[in-house]
Amino acid sequence: MRRTFLRRTGALAAAAALTSAVGALTLTLWPTAAVHAQAAPAKPTAPQPFTLAGWSKPITEITHLLVEEEKGFFRSEGLALNYLPGAGGGDALRNLLSGQADIAFTDPGSFFAALDKGEKLRAVYDIYPQNVFNVVSLPTSNIRKPADLKGKRVGVYSLSSGTLQNLQILLQQAGLKKDDVTVVVTGLLNFAPLIQGQVDATAATDTGLALARRRGVRDPQVIEVGDYLNYSSDILVVRESTYQQNKDVLRRFLAGYRRSAQWMIDQPAEAAQLAVKRAIDGQDPALNREIIDIRNRSAVSPLTKERGLGTLDEKSLQAAADAYRKLGLIERDIRISDVIGTDLLPTR
């Protein structure tokens, strides 16, 4: 009996010792496993596709959007940027409204026209707060001010272009109407007809004028539309549903866009060199630099210097919408405060 008790006691002691040893082994192993679990690298998340519908082909003035492979401005925000080329601001909006793009790089005139037709849209970023349009003539024409355009032949890119819209705004400031001039459609190469005497003046942009000067237009007379009504030349626009439902994605995109624009302002020489590789018109680095410098100037304003790049100027956009309504370019009044989103950009 005593031997049985001792055997049982010994067996229990051995079992207890084994349990203790296993417990100690378990305590030793579990922390190691936890450390290994924490150290295992997480699988990278694939960037979210995001398409920007542009008004143009991949040209030098948008180099900051073409260097994603080198710079990764949008990749760092978890987005895979796709640039969808277009043929004007209206084309960019059509690509947006058809669902082919998430955001459109367009002009206020096209934006106003779409709103006038009942489209639900929201402007979220002011790309170029400066008016880049002008009317150019040769010294012999004696055209110095908008009133001097009366009875003259004036070239425009097309009848649906910003050149015509801004010509009308300029004429309006002088008390003139479209019928007070002869509008001639010249296409994008609008300075050749000016040099050849087919038109007395031509409506253009700041970069178009720079190209013309390089190609032999000397001492041109320039009337800046911005001296009479300075409002944005281009804005970023989204569908209202996107604005309401996807603000996080839009904030990330706009953060990447703002950084890309700031890079081109801070590093114009590098941008000019990369344009040689990325832009379809970027063969000449010196010309690239000139175009980039011009476009950088149009990207800043007193308001953006105070509040940051992309800040929408509600007052100037309202003045532009009112001018379009007065000219009959749109049929209904537009209340700008209802169609802009100012809550997606961080303020300074």
Residue 23 lies in a domain: no
Q: What is the pTM of this model?
A: 0.83
Please state the rounded mean pLDDT for residues 324-331: 95
Span 75-109, pLDDT tens digits: 999 999 999 999 888 999 999 999 999 999 999 99
Residue 112 lies in a domain: yes
198 SS3 class: coil
What confidence score (pLDDT) does residue 33 get? 41
Residues 123 and 137 in one domain: no
Contact criterion met (CB below 8 Å) for 188 and 152 = no
pLDDT at 164 over 80: yes
Span 167-225, pLDDT tens digits: 999 999 899 999 999 999 998 788 999 999 999 999 999 999 998 898 888 899 999 99
The CATH number linked to 273 is 3.40.190.10
Residue 17 lies in a domain: no
Residues 236 and 334 in one domain: yes
Residue 86 lies in a domain: yes
Using the 3D structure, point to which of 227, 242, 265 is the last residue of a domain: 227
CA distance 175 to 106: 28
Residue-number span of the structural domain to which 60 is assigned = 48-129+232-338
192: CB partners within 8 A, 6+ apart: 186
What confidence score (pLDDT) does residue 88 get? 86
Using the 3D structure, point to which of 180, 212, 227 is the last residue of a domain: 227
Residues 221 and 238 in one domain: no
Residue 26 lies in a domain: no
Residues 270 and 285 in one domain: yes
Residues 142 and 188 in one domain: yes
Residues 79 and 206 in one domain: no
Residue 273 lies in a domain: yes
Residues 140 and 116 in one domain: no
Bridge partners, residue 53, by sequence:
84, 104
Q: Rounded to the nearest 10 degrees, what angle do helices 268-278 and 285-298 cross at?
A: 120
State how many domains the chain has.
2
Residues 209 and 62 in one domain: no
Residues 322 and 186 in one domain: no
CA distance 169 to 163: 10
Residues 138 and 184 in one domain: yes
pLDDT at 133 over 50: yes
Query: Quick one: pLDDT band at residue 5, thresholds 50, 70, 90?
Result: very low
Using the 3D structure, point to which of 227, 248, 282 is the last residue of a domain: 227
What confidence score (pLDDT) does residue 120 get? 99
Residue 276 lies in a domain: yes
Could you tell me which of 228, 226, 92 has the C-alpha nearest to residue 172?
228
Span 226-256, pLDDT tens digits: 999 999 999 999 999 999 999 999 999 999 9
Q: How far are the Cα atoms of 51, 223, 248, 249, 307 from residue 245, in angstroms, in the given order?
A: 17, 43, 9, 9, 25
Residues 125 and 238 in one domain: yes
More confident residue, 3 or 243: 243
Residue 11 lies in a domain: no
What confidence score (pLDDT) does residue 189 get? 81
Residues 138 and 212 in one domain: yes
Strands 121-128 and 201-205: unpaired
